[in-house]
């Protein structure tokens, strides 16, 4: 069933543009709904607007990423050591077990700032935006060591 009247003969470019706009509208709604969910990672992104180009880049990166740990990071299902402490009913440790700094082993620290050799080798630059910071840890350095690949942070 076509969305165009039977009597019209729409140009192929018009059809493709209309289909694109429908898909983008759906993606915008899904992003807004996701931000309303009770997710542990959504508070980082409440002020981040939907951007078509970022979503396009993320879809392309996801399709090229075959490593399940990297996909877990992109989908927000990877956990920090601090998160595992809470999930197990323990107090969150105040000292990073990898570098020894007096900072809880939270996602941001382990992904971007931890100086432990097994975590810091191959660190990409810290992203400027919250969206990249929250979701892109270690995706750029697929061949490098990362806390996910080494089993220090498990999805």
Q: Whole-model pTM? A: 0.58
pLDDT single digits (tens) 81-110:
999 999 999 999 999 999 999 999 998 888
Average pLDDT over residues 54-62: 89
Sketch the domain layout of the chain as residue ranges. 68-155
Q: What is the pLDDT of residues 6-55, one digit of tens each?
A: 556 678 889 999 999 999 999 999 999 989 998 777 777 888 899 999 89
Q: What is the pLDDT of residues 134-154, one digit of tens each?
A: 544 434 333 333 333 333 333
Residue 43's H or E segment, with its range, is: none
Length of the chain: 155
CB 130 within 8 A of CB 47: yes
């Amino acid at each position: 069933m076509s969305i165009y009247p039977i009597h019209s003969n729409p140009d192929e470019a018009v059809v493709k543009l209309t289909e694109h706009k429908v898909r983008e509208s759906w993606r915008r709604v899904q992003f807004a709904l996701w931000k309303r969910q009770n997710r542990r990672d959504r508070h980082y992104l409440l002020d981040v607007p939907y951007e078509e180009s970022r979503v396009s880049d993320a879809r392309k990166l996801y399709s090229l990423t075959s490593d399940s740990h990297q996909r877990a990071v992109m989908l927000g299902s990877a956990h920090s050591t601090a998160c595992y402490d809470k999930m197990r009913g323990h107090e969150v440790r105040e000292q990073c077990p990898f570098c020894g700094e007096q900072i809880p082993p939270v996602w941001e620290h382990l992904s971007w700032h931890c100086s432990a050799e097994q975590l810091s080798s191959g660190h990409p630059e810290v992203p400027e935006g919250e969206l990249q910071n929250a979701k892109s840890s270690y995706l750029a350095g697929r061949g490098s060591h990362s806390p996910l690949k080494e089993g220090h942070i498990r999805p």
